[in-house]
Structure 1
Amino acid sequence: MAGSGRDRAYTYLKEVYLADPECQGRFINEQEVADRIGVSRTPIREALFLLSAEGLVQLIPKRGAYVAPWTARELSELMELRGMVERHAATQAIARGVVPEAEMRAALDRQYGLRGSDEGAAFIDWDHRFHSALVTAVGNDMLIDFYSGLRARQVRAGIVALFSAPHRREAVLQEHEEILRGLVDGDVAAAHRAIDAHLDSTLRVLIDT
C-alpha cells in the first residue's frame, strides 16, 4: 500500500475494515490494525479522526473508536440519497443518450462471475462500480464527488446485506438486469422503478438483519 502511514491506514480502515460485517458493534483494536498494515499506532489514530469526522466511527474517550451498528434511520437516509442521485442520473443519461451500457454490463458480468464464490467484498465492489458508472456518465463533477462520498457506506451496507440473506446475490443480479434494461430501452419510468425496487429490497434486508 503506497502513500503515507495515515493515508494507508485511512484507506484500509475505510475500504476493508469497515466493510467487514463482523466489525459492527465493536471497538477497533488500533494495535491489531497497525500490525496488519505495517504502521505505528499514530497514523491509525490520525486516520480514525478523519473517519470520525465523516461519521463512520465514533471516538469514545478512554475507550477508543467504536463502529456503531446501523440504525434504521441511517439506512433509510442512505437509500433515499442514493435513490435521488441514481434516478436523476438515469433521467439525464437517457435524455442525453449517454447510457453507459458497456460499462454497466461489464460490471454486471463480473458480478455474475462472483456469484458462487466467497468473495463478497469483490461482488459488492463491482456492485458499486455498476451504479457509479451510471452517475459518472452524466458528467456532473459535483454530483460524482457527492456520490463517491457515499461509497464507504454503500459498500458496508451492501456487504452486510449480502451476508444477511442467503440468496441476495441472485436477487441483486436480477435487480441490476432490470435497471440496465430500463436504461437501454430509454424508458425513464421503468429505470426509476427498477432503481427504487433495488434500493427498497436492500433496505428491507438490512432492517430485518
Structure 2
Amino acid sequence: MTYPSAPARSAAPSAAERAYQHLKRAILEQIHPGGSLVSEGEIAEATGVSRTPVREALLRLEAEGLVKLYPKRGALIRPVSAREIADVIEARRLVELYAAERVWPRRAPLKADLAARLAEMRAAHAAGDLTALMAADRAFHATVVDAAGNEILAELYQRLRDRQLRMGEASFRLSPGWAEVALTEHAAQLAALDSDDPQPWLAAVAAHIDNAATVLRTLR
C-alpha cells in the first residue's frame, strides 16, 4: 500500500531575512521615520538574531536606498527627498497611464476587481485602519497595472510600491481629508469604466496621479 507523501514544508526565513523584513516594514510604515538613527543592537534585540545577519540586512537596505550606514553608529533612515517624489510620480504616470490604455478593451473583469479593492479601502477607512487602507490603495493601482499583461512593467511597478508606501503614508497622515479624496477619485475611475469612451477613464487615472503629486509636494 502506498501512502500520500506529507506536504513539503516551506523553509523558514533566514535570520538575515527576518531582520531585513522587520526593519524594512518599520521604515515603510514610518515606525522609524526618515532622519532617525537605528543601531545594530536595537534591531538584533527586536528580531532575536545576532548582529551578523543584521549587518547583512542593513547592506541590502542601503543598496535599496532606504538607509545610509555609519560604522559603529548604526543606520540613518533616509528621508524622502523632493527628487525622489518627482521621480516616482513621473514613473507612476508613465506606467499607470500606459496600463490604463491597455486594459480598456478588457475593462469588464477589471471593474469587478477594482470594485473589490475600493470596498476594502472604504472598510479600512471606516475602521480607522491606516495600514489596511494603504494596502488596499496600493492593490487598487496594482490591479490596473497587472491587468495590462506586461510582466516587466508589473515587476517595475512592484519595485515602485515601497517608495510609494512611504510617500503615501505621509500624505494620508499629514494632509487632512486626503483619504476621502483618494476614495472619491478611485470611485470616479470605477464609474468611468461604464463609458463607451476611454477618455473619461484615462482622464480620471491621470487626474488622480496629478492630485497625489500636488499633495506630496506640499509635504516637503
CA distance in 1, matches of 2:196, 2:43: 47
Q: Does the Cα contact within 8 Å between 1:94 and 1:186 map onto a contact in 2?
A: no
Cα gap change, 1:97/1:124 in structure 2, threshold over 3 Å: closer, same or farther? closer
Q: Does the Cα contact within 8 Å between 1:21 and 1:160 map onto a contact in 2?
A: no
The Cα shift of 1:76 comes to 1.2
Structure 2 gaps of 5+ residues are: 1-11
Identity of aligned pairs, percent?
A: 38
Q: Which aligned pairs between 1:144-163 and structure 2 lie closer than 5 A?
A: 144-163=154-173
CA distance in 1, matches of 2:103, 2:197: 11
Q: Which residue of 1 aligns with 2:42?
A: 32
Residue 117 of structure 2 is aligned to residue 94 of structure 1: no
Counterpart secondary structure, 2:75: strand
CA distance in 1, matches of 2:112, 2:53: 40
Structure 1 runs of 4+ off > 6 angstroms?
none
Query: Which of these residues, 19, 29, 44, is aligned with residue 9 of structure 1?
Result: 19
Please give the per-residue CA displacement for 1:87-142, whole angstroms capped at 9, x wherever unaligned.
Answer: 11110001345652222111110110111334212110111111111111112111
Residue 202 of structure 2 is aligned to residue 192 of structure 1: yes
Asked which structure has the greater CA Rg, the reply is: 2
Query: Which of these residues, 159, 166, 189, is aligned with residue 179 of structure 1?
Result: 189
State the AA in 1 paired with 2:148: V
CA distance in 2, matches of 1:62, 1:123: 38
Cα gap change, 1:175/1:29 in structure 2, threshold over 3 Å: closer, same or farther? farther
Q: How many residues align?
A: 209
Structure 1 gaps of 5+ residues are: none
Q: Which residue of 2 aligns with 1:137?
A: 147
Counterpart secondary structure, 2:181: helix
Superposition RMSD on alpha carbons, in Å?
2.2
Q: Does the Cα contact within 8 Å between 2:100 and 2:205 map onto a contact in 1?
A: no
Q: Does the Cα contact within 8 Å between 1:182 and 1:194 map onto a contact in 2?
A: yes
